[in-house]
Amino acid sequence: MDAKENLITSAQALLWERGYVGMSPKAIQQRAGAGQGSMYHHFSGKAALALAAIQRSAAEMQAQIDAELNFQGTALAQITAFLQRERDVLRGCRMGRLAQDPEIIALEELRQPVDEIFSGLQQRLIDVLDSGQANHEFLYVFETADLAAMIVSVLQGAYVVARAENSEVPFKRAMSGLLFTLGTLTKPAI
């Protein structure tokens, strides 16, 4: 087993569960099955290890997003598929979790990967919506950047509300509401 790898995956899990503030070096080491010496040999400290873990998580998410929003089918079909993929709702979003952490937000280098995921996802959605506009899939001309920001926000907010209520129900409702409203943009009222 590669201790350095174990430390990174361990930190990834703890950042997801407890955030930067709630993650201690000791907890990382125990979960990784590594000692103090090992951790401080591979990383200069908690911040450096967290950076490696965040970058890894960001890369994993980016790969998933790239695979999902792949420009096949209509804009609505792509976005629907993206929104309906299986998610561990009550666990929340790895990146959204970090956006709430005061230390992540305070340290530019830790916030940057989080920023890039959200900026990149929005741009991807803008591209999809723009192609939908070009193909006249929508009944309206709209600011695609606004719709993209709204879609990402529904997803992030639905995780938040689900955790608050300790239930997947509000998440599913928010997705249904979003898919309904997006649907009305493509077909006229009855």
Partner DNA sequence: GTCTATAAAACGATAGAC
Partner DNA sequence: GTCTATCGTTTTATAGAC
Where does this chain bind a second copy (CB under 8 A)? Answer: 17-19, 21-22, 92, 95-103, 105, 111, 114-115, 117-119, 122, 139-140, 142-143, 145-161, 163-166, 170-171, 173-174, 176-178, 180-182, 184-185, 188-190
Compute the least distance from the CB of residue 180 to DNA, in Å.
44
Binding mask 37-56 for DNA (x = CB under 7 A): xx-xxx-xxxx---------
- Residue 70 binds DNA (CB under 7 A): no
Among 3, 52, 105, 149, binds DNA (CB under 7 A): 3
**What, of DNA, a second copy, none, does residue 67 touch, CB below 5 to 8 Å by kind?**
none
Helix residue ranges per DSSP H, 3-143: 3-18, 25-32, 36-42, 46-68, 75-84, 94-99, 102-106, 108-134
- Residue 31 binds DNA (CB under 7 A): no
The per-residue b/e assignment along 11-25, b for 16 or more CB within 10 angstroms, e otherwise, is bbbbbbeebbeebeb
Helix, strand or coil, per DSSP, at residue 97:
helix
Question: What angle in degrees, to the nearest 10, is found between the helix axes of 108-134 and 144-165?
Answer: 120
